[in-house]
Structure 1
Amino acid sequence: MRLLVLGGTAWLGSYAVREALARGHEVVCLARGESGAVPDGATLVQGDRSTVEGYGALSGDFDAAIDVTRFPVHMRTALEALATRVNHWVFVSSCSVYATHDVPGADESAPLLPALEGDEWTMEVYGEGKVACEQALLDAVGPGRATIVRSGLIAGPDDISDRTGYWPLRFAHPSTDDGSVLVPDAPDLQTEIIDGRDLAAWLVTCAEQTTAGIFNASGRAQPFPELIDVVRRTVGHDGPTVLVDQEWLSEHGVEPWAGENSLPLWLPLPEYAGFMARSSEAAYAHGLVTRPLAETVRDGLEWELRAGPGRKRKAGLSPSAEAELIAQKRQEDDD
């Protein structure tokens, strides 16, 4: 197979490149080259996707293309330049395209956000932008030549969002002398994550098999406390956990999900009861395979330690902020 990866120099794209190369495919990557080098064995063609002219250095036709863009303009320029030269398209979308997130088990038929209009993109319209990308792809090539993968939260090594690595790192290196870790008391919150390597492998499979359709793609949902238990067992944490409910977290300025002063993967209920509990049964029926969570946790921790555990993070509580919150909670309990 001659495969085009639009990107290929960072995280998921580079995983897809490595997987395709390991299977014996020829891989060409189109990227600006600013995020790093492509994996050994792939060919880098430099180009800026903001214009159709940015694809001018690409030569020949491709059996398939894998695209992870979040920018509708990039999708439109790619299709204008390459729609007749690529047999099958695999697009990595997101479960953020859905309009609501309060129903666990919802499948791909759930209502979507309105598509982003124009090219003024920010993270606040991430979901709307992905909807626009999906619609542009389907309009250009039709549903028979497209795989749209609505990914759940991607986990494991190289998680540059700092979300899924927070818990393995914190349990391996607690911020308190007695090993205490602040944990949301969320027994009813469902969580599901997918190792980036497993997602990349399935993207390549979809390209090989010209799988057509729209698929949610994530790991199996499990209660948040079970995920925390797997993390603790995997890293060998035997200290206390300090459980706090969502009202306490909100009152003390702790943000859900991501960002500064947050607890990653925690989401308030009931409005986000289905955000990490969508059905991925269609993807599993079409060959998606996921590894044990403990393996993702172990490898994610190894990467966190290599990346530098003391660096400023994009998600999570700083050790000092967490220690202060634990002290506040214990003082309140004593009072």
Structure 2
Amino acid sequence: MRLLILGGTVFLSRNIARAAVARGHQVTALARGSRPVPAGAMLHVADRDQGVTAFAGLTGEWDAVIDVARDPVQVGAARQALSGRVAHWTFVSTLSVYADQAVAGQDESAELLPGLAEGADAAAEYGAAKVACEQLFGSATEPFAIVRPGLICGPGDPSDRYGYWPARFARDNGPALLPDLGAMATQVIDARDLALWLVELAESGTGGVFDACGPTVPWRTLIGAAMEVAGYSGRLRLADPAWLSAHGVSPWAGPESLPLWLPEDAFGLMARRGAAARAAGLRLRPFDQTLESVLADEKSRGLGRERRAGLGQAREAELLALLAG
């Protein structure tokens, strides 16, 4: 298969390139060239902000294209530049396209957000931007798949979200600060599982819309497994989410956050059905295996490093002292 990956050098798209090469495909990655492509893939250096001219030199026909972009301008340019030369498209979207994130058990039929308004900031309005990207496939004549993953994790994750918990528990046995989330579920997907399935969709020419979700695991179960993997035997200190917010701690991601914590009106984001993707061949490894490999990656990068998500050791200690009052 002659496969073009729009990306191919960072996390998910890099895993896609690696999986496709391993299956014997001829892989070209279109990227800025600031990072290398996996061994066996070819790099076409281009900046997608240049529009259709970024695709100059990509001649001939393609058996499949996989696009992970969030900017509808970039996706529209790719659709235009490659029109009539692609047998199958896969667009990697997100579960953030859905309007209602509160209700658990929803599927692909749920209502979407309005698409990004023209001229609006795609980076600031992630869900709406991905909706607008999806809409560009509405008049497609070739088979296409729209895949909406949940939180993607695994070794090499640049967001630092999922890895925060096993890394925290491996760092030391001191008291650990956690949000008190009751019955909240977690639902992540290993980038390696997702990447392999995306390649298989391209191989088979499968079309459709799919929520790509990992197993639904209660928050408490995930934390217990992370503690076990890390060998943590310290004390957990639970804090009310409202107290954490009042003290400047954010949910979900970013600096000064406790990752994976969702506000109650977004609990459904990590409790979707995902049955259509599994019926279409998505295979998921046990979540504790992902935890083990993520912890190994965290150790290799340094448990005490500065992170893009989570609390530093000093900040956690400060909050624990305030909580103790």
Structure 1 residues 43-81: Cα deviation after superposition (integer angstroms, max 9, x where no partner): 111122221111011121111111100111110010001
Report how far residue 188 of structure 1 moved: 1.5
Amino acid at match of 1:45: H
Corresponding position of 1:44? 43
Correspondences of 1:92-131 after superposition (within 5 Å): 92-131=92-131
> Distance between the aligned counterparts of 1:64 and 1:106, measured in 2?
29
- One of 201, 207, 224 as aligned partner of 2:219: 224
> Distance between the aligned counterparts of 1:148 and 1:209, measured in 2?
14
Report how far residue 327 of structure 1 moved: 1.7
SS at match of 1:123: coil
8 Å contact from structure 2 (residues 7, 30) kept in 1: yes
SS at match of 1:316: coil
Structure 1 residues 150-192: Cα deviation after superposition (integer angstroms, max 9, x where no partner): 0100011111011011001101013xxx521111221211110
Corresponding position of 1:234? 229
Structure 1 residues 104-155: Cα deviation after superposition (integer angstroms, max 9, x where no partner): 011111111111132442432011110011010233x24x611100010001
> Distance between the aligned counterparts of 2:123 and 2:292, measured in 1?
30
- One of 166, 169, 187 as aligned partner of 2:167: 169
SS at match of 2:317: helix
Amino acid at match of 1:26: Q
* Residue 30 (1) aligns with residue 30 (2): yes
- One of 239, 257, 263 as aligned partner of 2:258: 263
Structure 1 residues 209-261: Cα deviation after superposition (integer angstroms, max 9, x where no partner): 11111110011112111111111111111111111222222232211001121
8 Å contact from structure 2 (residues 7, 13) kept in 1: yes
- One of 225, 241, 246 as aligned partner of 1:246: 241
> Distance between the aligned counterparts of 1:4 and 1:327, measured in 2?
53
Aligned residues: 324
- One of 268, 288, 302 as aligned partner of 1:308: 302
Correspondences of 1:1-335 after superposition (within 5 Å): 1-34=1-34, 36-50=35-49, 51-139=51-139, 141-142=140-141, 145-174=143-172, 179-269=174-264, 271-331=265-325
Amino acid at match of 1:323: A
Amino acid at match of 1:236: G
SS at match of 1:273: helix
Amino acid at match of 2:45: Q
Amino acid at match of 2:164: Y
Amino acid at match of 1:163: R
Q: Please, which runs of 5 or more residues in structure 1 have no aligned partner?
A: none
> Distance between the aligned counterparts of 2:120 and 2:263, measured in 1?
29
1:123/1:54 CA distance change after superposition, 3 Å: closer
8 Å contact from structure 1 (residues 169, 309) kept in 2: yes
Amino acid at match of 2:305: R
> Distance between the aligned counterparts of 1:119 and 1:88, measured in 2?
29
Report how far residue 28 of structure 1 moved: 1.1
Cα root mean square deviation, aligned: 1.3
Q: Please, which runs of 5 or more residues in structure 2 have no aligned partner?
A: none
> Distance between the aligned counterparts of 2:300 and 2:189, measured in 1?
21
Q: Give identity over the alignment, percent.
A: 49
> Distance between the aligned counterparts of 1:70 and 1:217, measured in 2?
17
Structure 1 residues 281-305: Cα deviation after superposition (integer angstroms, max 9, x where no partner): 1100110011111121111122222
TM-score by length of 2: 0.96
SS at match of 2:75: helix
Amino acid at match of 2:11: W
TM-score by length of 1: 0.93
8 Å contact from structure 1 (residues 75, 137) kept in 2: no
8 Å contact from structure 2 (residues 171, 303) kept in 1: no
Amino acid at match of 2:289: E
